[in-house]
């Protein structure tokens, strides 16, 4: 048995307007992502990872705030507190409004906001 708390993460990443807290439990990596108002993937994360759009798949649960997702094909969906979503690779995203968006992601934690290799 293994128990970890995101309040004492194994790793913290802090790109602009972003805080990524990561724990690895067994074979799974879980992240809590806090995106500040004004955050946009293409402005805050793209320069770090160097890909055209976000290539990480996400399985998210939104704790607070709102985020808009735009797929490379132009499809858009807004996520808000209480929503669960699967987001495939190939998207941009940004915080909607003046409240931080906090999400738990159970897929992307191992690689999110790291330079693509």
Radius of gyration of the chain (CA): 13
Phi-psi region of 115 (alpha: psi -120 to 50; beta: other; left: phi over 0): beta
Q: Over the stretch 14-24, which tens digit does the pLDDT of each residue have? A: 999 999 999 99
Mean pLDDT over all residues of the chain? 96
All domains of the chain in start order, with CATH: 11-110 (2.60.120.10)
Tokens of 46: 């793209």
pTM above 0.85, yes or no: yes
Q: Over the stretch 88-106, which tens digit does the pLDDT of each residue have? A: 999 999 999 999 999 999 9
Check: CB of residue 16 under 8 Å from CB of residue 3: no
Does the structure show a pLDDT above 70 at 25? Answer: yes
Q: What residue has token string 């939104």?
A: 62
């Amino acid at each position: 048995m293994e128990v970890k708390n995101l309040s004492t993460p194994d790793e913290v990443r802090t790109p602009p307007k972003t805080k990524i807290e990561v724990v690895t439990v067994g074979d799974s990596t879980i992240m809590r992502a806090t995106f500040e108002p004004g955050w946009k993937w293409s402005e805050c994360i793209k320069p770090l990872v160097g890909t055209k759009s976000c290539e990480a798949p996400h399985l998210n649960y939104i704790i607070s705030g709102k985020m808009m997702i735009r797929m490379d094909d132009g499809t858009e969906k807004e996520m808000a507190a209480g929503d669960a979503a699967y987001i495939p690779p190939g998207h941009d995203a940004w915080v909607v409004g003046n409240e931080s968006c906090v999400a738990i992601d159970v897929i992307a934690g191992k690689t999110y906001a790291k330079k693509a290799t």
